[in-house]
Amino acid sequence: MENLNPETLVEDRILDSLSPGPHAAWKASAHAPARPLKILQVSHDLHAGGLQRVVIDLAQGLRRLGHDAHICSLRGTGPLEAEIRGRGIPLWPMPWPQTGSDRWMFLKVLRLLRTQRYDVIHTHNTQPFLDGGLAAFLARVPVRVHTDHARAFPDRLRYMVMERLMSHGYGKVVGVSAHTADNLRRYEGIDSARLSVILNGIDGAWYRAERDRLDASRLRREAGLDRFGRVIGLGVRLEEQKGIRYLLEAMPAILARHPDTGLAVAGTGSLGDDLKERARALGIADNVRFLGAYPQLTPFYPLIDIFVLPSLWEGLPLCLLEAMSLGLPIVATRVGGVGDLIEDGRTGSLAPPMDAVPLAAAVNALLDDPGRAEAMGLEARRVFDARYDSGVMVDRYLELYRELDPKGKADPGRTGPGKGSAGTA
């Protein structure tokens, strides 16, 4: 893509430089609805993360149902661009400065909205909420939906104030868990009538197909994990939110009981060097592998026997849904929407946050009893298939779009009581 100067964004030629590429042709499904919707999903970037995975799976699912779903990235291209284009989803990466920010981003989005004439704009998290929301208001996009994917509250005051003001321009603001929606009501003062809860979902069949084509033994050998009897691990951003240091601090107790256990950590972030130093200081560095960036976690999951997520706060974490879809045993902390997702003792084990002792005990309990761990993983997969597959999420968002669409009618066969509605928070 041409690297445009933002000052040229008011010129007509900007849309030529924002071409969605060779996969832009819309392929309607065999059972196209009476009035297909043209929908823009807006993400802040195309780096690997749970939010971005929801955006991709939502766009893909909507296209399978015959809707013309596109993706817009406000911060240019990124590692997920190839996958998006490979799936045939039209992509609009906006020009983004190499340093600093872009106060005129809303004008770029406005230009796209006026040219493409979308029926629905669906923004995800703060920057898309503000820039996309203002652009959608000016372009008079009929249906405006926003999803908050959870963060630590209270957030910065200016963000909370701006989001409260912007919420008045949206038909619905969605939280990915009841906890997230409650935070939006409590801290930002967003009207309860404007709030809904729709749980995240992922394409479980795709994750299983990707896993099944991989050679787990080879991947473990290449990652230096083949010498361990059992491997626990996680793939996340290496940031304070994820509580990785508590998992490192739990490792001595785990190794005292199961000395052949390895810990695999996939991902990058600002705490990478600090966490490696912490592992050395704890004397566990020989049993820990920091594997670096994984644009897709599908090659990571075959490396581990138990997925551990020691987060300090969460909404509805996509990595847990991925682990559930693959039938992996799970240990997680009881924060945010995690307690709604995992039933302690049935589909996983829950521990309190910021405490290495109960975290180590929960991991050891599953390592002590592999049969119980396997049974919990299988039950987690069963629950995932029933509640959290992306098809459920797509149906609920589509129902929400239809409810807000001034020209729309219920999509026959796809929405209604049988599919589950988008509940008001």
Chain mean pLDDT for the chain: 89
Report the percent of the chain where pLDDT is more than 90: 79
Whether the Cβ atoms of residue 234 and residue 308 lie closer than 8 Å to each other? yes
Contact 303, 328 (CB under 8 A): no
Which of 389 and 349 is assigned the larger pLDDT? Answer: 349
Specify the higher pLDDT residue, 415 or 326: 326
pLDDT digits 0-9 by tens, 56-99: 999 999 999 999 999 999 999 999 999 999 999 999 999 999 88
Query: In what helix (H) or strand (E) does residue 39 lie, and over which residues does it extend?
Result: strand 38-43
Whole-structure pTM over 0.75, yes or no?
no
Q: Give the DSSP letter of residue 37.
A: P
- Write down the pLDDT at residue 315: 82
Give the up-direction half-sphere exposure of residue 417: CA atoms within 13 A in the CB hemisphere: 0
- Cβ–Cβ < 8 Å for 267, 244: no
d(CA 61, CA 393): 9
Distance separating alpha carbons of residues 320 and 109, to the nearest angstrom: 33
Pair 359, 27: CB distance under 8 Å: no
Q: Which residues are CB-contacts of 17 (< 8 A; sequence separation ≥ 6)?
A: 1, 2, 4, 95
With CA atoms as reference, report the closest residue to 37 among 109, 120, 142: 120
Q: Looking at 57-98, which runs of residues are DSSP E strands? A: 68-73, 91-93
Please give the CATH topology (third level) of the domain spanning 6-202+389-424.
Answer: Rossmann fold (3.40.50)
In 3D, which of 165, 151, 161 has the Cα closest to residue 194?
Answer: 165
Give the C-alpha separation, 241 to 315, whole Å: 11
How large is the C-alpha radius of gyration of the chain? 22
Residue 410 has pLDDT above 70, yes or no: no
Q: Over the stretch 13-60, which tens digit does the pLDDT of each residue have?
A: 334 444 444 333 333 333 445 589 999 999 999 998 889 999 999 999
Q: Are 46 and 80 in contact (CB under 8 A)?
A: yes
Kindly state the average pLDDT of the residues 113-130: 97
Same fold yes or no, 6-202+389-424 and 204-387: yes
Q: Which of 57, 30, 29, 28 is nearest to 41 (CA)?
A: 57
Rounded Cα distance between 35 and 408, Å, is 7
The beta-strand segments (E) located in 115-258 are 120-124, 143-148, 172-175, 195-197, 230-235
Report d(CA 376, CA 387) in Å as an integer: 16
Query: What are the residue ranges spanned by the domains of the chain?
Result: 6-202+389-424, 204-387
Q: How confident is the model at residue 336 (pLDDT cuts 50, 70, 90)?
A: confident
CATH code assigned to 204-387: 3.40.50.2000
